[in-house]
């Protein structure tokens, strides 16, 4: 199947070069001529919001997403309210940085009640939508791999994420498809088609075998078993033509020189995505 012939849609998700500061990542993208960047809130905080905005603008980069809002379920009403407040700050930051989407990693249950936690996620998104809309920020629900259900997200499938998103307009809430999280799903292609018009982001990496680590075991595109090009074609058939983020949690990649990682990332993107 057809591969890309340029990197116009390629975005560096900052986590892939986690040892770099925001300024270093922006400069790396300029050297590598990568047009998009996805920012992480901790890196933005480190540099300062105004300075982060200046760095990105001066580098001529577009911001594909801000990572991340979410983490909604909590044991008490007070703690849930504190998390809503933090998400309002994330929305403000996404607006200021002109990010295409604020990615939501929805959070685990505070106890054994997974259905209750899923309800808390829905309630929180309902509460945030007016605030986000006023600031022109779209919320992107990212389903996480089921192996993170107990520690990071009770939203584990694209079907779940789309069901929540469908309660809102596509300008308010959509979904983010990350191949690492969804590649195994027997419903994947059906659910991508269902999410048509609601896909706000597409993240690539690979699932390596054997998997070295649950959190830091993601691979560079082409090093694993994910049908990257097939999923990309499906996402495009569902109307998504936006930036494609390379988002890799992997200590071995973090330990390599950033410029080398970016060079490999570009080559693998053209070859495999």
The CA distance from 273 to 255, in Å, is 24
Q: Rounded to whole angstroms, what are the CA distances from 128 to 101, 155, 264?
A: 14, 17, 38
Select 113 or 260, whichever has its Cβ closest to a second copy: 113
Binding site for a second copy (CB under 8 A): 108-109, 111-114, 118, 145-147, 149-151, 156-157, 159-160, 183-186, 207, 209-211, 214, 224-227
Q: Rounded to the nearest whole angstrom, what is the least distance from the CB of residue 5 to a second copy in the complex?
A: 23
Q: Rounded to the nearest whole angstrom, what is the least distance from the CB of residue 168 to a second copy in the complex?
A: 19
Select 31 or 184, whichever has its Cβ closest to a second copy: 184
Q: Which residues contact 6 (CB under 8 A, 6 or more apart)?
A: none
The CA distance from 249 to 79, in Å, is 28
Q: Which residues contact 93 (CB under 8 A, 6 or more apart)?
A: 41, 44, 49, 66
Q: Rounded to the nearest whole angstrom, what is the least distance from the CB of residue 45 to a second copy in the complex?
A: 25
Q: Rounded to the nearest whole angstrom, what is the least distance from the CB of residue 130 to a second copy in the complex?
A: 26
Select 28 or 70, whichever has its Cβ closest to a second copy: 70
Q: Rounded to the nearest whole angstrom, what is the least distance from the CB of residue 180 to a second copy in the complex?
A: 11
Select 209 or 263, whichever has its Cβ closest to a second copy: 209
Q: Rounded to the nearest whole angstrom, what is the least distance from the CB of residue 192 to a second copy in the complex?
A: 14
Q: Rounded to the nearest whole angstrom, what is the least distance from the CB of residue 28 to a second copy in the complex?
A: 30
Select 82 or 209, whichever has its Cβ closest to a second copy: 209
The end-to-end CA distance of the chain, in Å, is 10
Select 81 or 150, whichever has its Cβ closest to a second copy: 150
Hunting for tokens 């925001």 — which residue is that?
22
Select 34 or 109, whichever has its Cβ closest to a second copy: 109
| Largest CA-CA distance found in the chain, in angstroms, rounded | 51
């Amino acid at each position: 199947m057809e591969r890309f012939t340029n990197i116009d849609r390629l975005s560096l998700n900052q986590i892939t070069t986690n040892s770099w500061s925001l300024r270093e990542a922006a400069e790396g993208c300029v050297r590598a001529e990568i047009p998009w960047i996805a920012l992480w809130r901790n890196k933005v905080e480190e540099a300062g919001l105004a300075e982060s905005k200046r760095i990105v603008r001066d580098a001529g980069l577009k911001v594909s997403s801000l990572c991340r809002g979410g983490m909604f379920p909590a044991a008490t009403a007070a703690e849930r309210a504190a998390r809503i407040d933090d998400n309002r700050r994330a929305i403000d930051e996404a607006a200021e940085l002109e990010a295409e989407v604020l990615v939501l990693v929805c959070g685990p249950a505070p106890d054994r009640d997974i259905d209750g936690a899923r309800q808390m996620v829905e309630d929180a998104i309902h509460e945030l939508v007016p605030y986000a809309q006023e600031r022109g920020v779209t919320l992107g629900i990212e389903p996480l791999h089921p192996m993170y259900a107990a520690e990071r997200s009770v939203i584990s499938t694209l079907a779940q994420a789309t069901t929540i998103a469908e309660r809102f307009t596509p300008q308010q809430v959509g979904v983010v498809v990350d191949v690492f999280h969804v590649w195994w799903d027997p419903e994947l292609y059906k659910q991508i088609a269902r999410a048509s018009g609601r896909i706000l982001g597409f993240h690539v990496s690979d699932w390596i075998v054997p998997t070295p680590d649950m959190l830091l075991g993601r691979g560079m595109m082409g090093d694993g078993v994910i049908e990257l090009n097939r999923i990309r074609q499906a996402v495009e058939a569902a109307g998504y033509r936006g930036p494609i983020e390379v988002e890799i949690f992997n200590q071995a990649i973090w330990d390599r020189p950033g410029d080398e990682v970016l060079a490999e990332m570009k080559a693998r993107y053209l070859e495999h995505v």
